[in-house]
Amino acid sequence: MTFGPVIAALALPDNARVDQRVPKKLMLEQGAPTAADKRVIQDGIEELFWVAALKPTNAGVPEFRDEVREYLEIAVLTAALRADAKASRLVELIHRAIPYPLVLVAAQNEGVTLSLAHKRWSQGEAGKVVIEDVRCTAAFRPDSPKPVEVAFLGSLAVARLPKGDLYALYQGWLDRVAALEAARITGAFALPDAGGGGSALREGLDEHNRIERELVVLRARAKKEKQINRRVELNVKIKRLDCELSALAGRMAKT
């Protein structure tokens, strides 16, 4: 598994290293709400490895606490997934099982993904932590990265992240994942502006994904439509949405 280039790119402090295997039994107990999920974990994970734990004492960054969440440390894990594993579901289950904000490097076949998800206190169950939106890169090969992936990897070092507190540091990684998503659309990797740039970029990406899904449906309908007037209407909608995608890409390039 080609974890090495991504872990090296994170440039984690030596005294943050844990380097311990995580038993699959722990995942089955903590991360599998259903019998189907237990099968996904049992059949899909080859190995789960705890690489590092970033804390104020080794990262030189204060902890974060407010009424919504508490970030006392950030976990960094690798997951080796089997070839036929349900990767997207496994990534979500691993994020749910780990009680700390998690940087997860998952490898399947020759591709690697990097995923993160903010966590907050559950509103319905005292003391329980729940995840928010999981942001995950598309799979790429870190041993032969494309130019935008080279730029992405070059931005990941802990020393290059915001230092206000552990929440800000973690958000810095999330912004870089969003920047890579945007780079696959715009063709250029660029970190979002400080302040609201990261939020605007993620909203743009979500809207871009929504429009792309709508276009898939409309194009399939247009291909099957036999009435010329209806086909014309569908093609007009498709053209309008294509223009919206182009405009979104332009805005993301300037975020």
Q: pLDDT per residue over 66-106, tens digit each?
A: 999 999 999 999 999 999 999 999 999 999 888 899 999 99
Q: What is the pTM for the complete model shown?
A: 0.88
Contact 252, 182 (CB under 8 A): yes
Q: Could you state, in order of their start, the residue ranges of all structural domains in the chain?
A: 4-187, 201-254
What is residue 186's predicted lDDT score, i.e. its pLDDT? Answer: 87
Q: What is the mean pLDDT of residues 109-137?
A: 88
Contact 58, 15 (CB under 8 A): yes
In one-letter notation, the amino acid at residue 122 is: S
Q: Which residues contact 109 (CB under 8 A, 6 or more apart)?
A: 83
DSSP state at residue 22: P
Q: Mean pLDDT lowest for which of 25-39, 60-74, 131-145?
A: 25-39
What is residue 31's predicted lDDT score, i.e. its pLDDT? Answer: 66
pLDDT tens readout for residues 54-63:
999 999 999 9
Residue with tokens 């329980």: 128
pLDDT of residue 141 exceeding 70, the answer is: yes
Q: What is the mean pLDDT of residues 21-42?
A: 83
Q: Which residues contact 207 (CB under 8 A, 6 or more apart)?
A: 248
How many other β-carbons are positioned within 10 Å of the β-carbon of residue 129?
16
SS (H, E, C) the chain: CCCHHHHHHHCCCHHHEEEEECCHHHHHHHCCCCHHHHHHHHHHEEEEEEEEEECHHHHCCCCEECCCCEECCEEEEEEEECCCCCHHHHHHHHHHHCCCCEEEEEEECCEEEEEEEEEEECCCCCCCEEEEEEEECCCECCCCCCHHHHHHHHCCCHHHCCCCCHHHHHHHHHHHHHHHHHHHHHCCCCCCCCCCHHHHHHHHHHHHHHHHHHHHHHHHHHHHCCCHHHHHHHHHHHHHHHHHHHHHHHHHHHC
For the chain, the straight-line distance linking the first and the last C-alpha, in angstroms and rounded, comes to: 34
Q: What is the mean pLDDT of residues 122-151?
A: 88
**What is the C-alpha separation between 219 and 238, in angstroms, rounded?**
7
pLDDT of residue 255 exceeding 70, the answer is: no
pLDDT of residue 1 exceeding 60, the answer is: no
SS3 218: helix
Contact 179, 191 (CB under 8 A): yes
